[in-house]
A and B are shown apart, each in its own frame.
Chain A
Amino acid sequence: MKYRLLLLIGCLCLGVTFGQEKREWERRIERSEFPDSALELIIPYLDGANKIKFYLERDQDKRSYEVKLKKRRLRYSIEFDQHGVLEDVEVRIREVDIPNESFEAIRSDLGQQFSAYRIRKIQQQYPNINANPQEILKKAFQNLLIPELNYEIIIAGKEAKRYQTYEFLYNAEGGFLNKRIVRPIDKDHVLY
């Protein structure tokens, strides 16, 4: 009996440690919390979609909104800035969906940077570069290969005996645009 009480007290006391540090985070939100202007843009595309989830991401002082959905067996991610302006649309694809020449250029670049690497995720990105957001959404949901699209590739790359997760951005021809380190998705919160 006394052990049960001690354990209870222990669990309750730990609660006071919550929220004492400033942090970057993302969380799932309700549809009602999503910006109205953004919601108006995507409503026509929610028809026939499932696994629709809304997220709020906060990165220091910057805030952005994201909606993820699955439609016609494709996974879409639509991002908006804090004012509800479309940033980009991303569609999850596989290696075979990238044109051969573009993919060869990408592989060549990755081979030069890493001794070993594993592609974890590929997304076809339709950025909103001074274009009509409705036009961008239309092209993305038609899965068109347009010159303005980019390929966003999440890689686990090995350099100097350690693995690090990177996000690479290539243009439609497979030309390198950007590289950044991303926070590891696989956290060790569960011990295996």
Chain B
Amino acid sequence: MRHVFRKKNPFLSLLRVMLVLLPAVLVFAIIWLRSNIVAVEYELGQLEKQKRALQSERIQLVAEKAELTSLDKIERLAVRRFGLTYTDRKKVVFVRETPEPAPFSAGFGENR
């Protein structure tokens, strides 16, 4: 029996190795990507849940704030607890805006 020794082509060898390795790497890459996506989906799902809970809390707080800042309630407190009264229009001072940058200077004079 005659053995013929042929010189191996390194490129072909590499190609064979690549043909085996590449699909394996691709499969692993896909799995890795997929698992990462799922992990992000979990995280987003949690955040979405958290967001909804916070939104619900926000609405509750907005309602509480609206109730506490009810003018009727404030008026009652102001009158009964602090003895405040409604503005006496005779004592109202009308503030005129002027172009001069003269902050908070005041004086008695004719109204301009």
Are chains A and B native binding partners rather than an unrelated pairing?
no
Binding site for A on B (CB under 8 A): none
Chain A positions within 8 Å of B, measured between CB atoms, are none
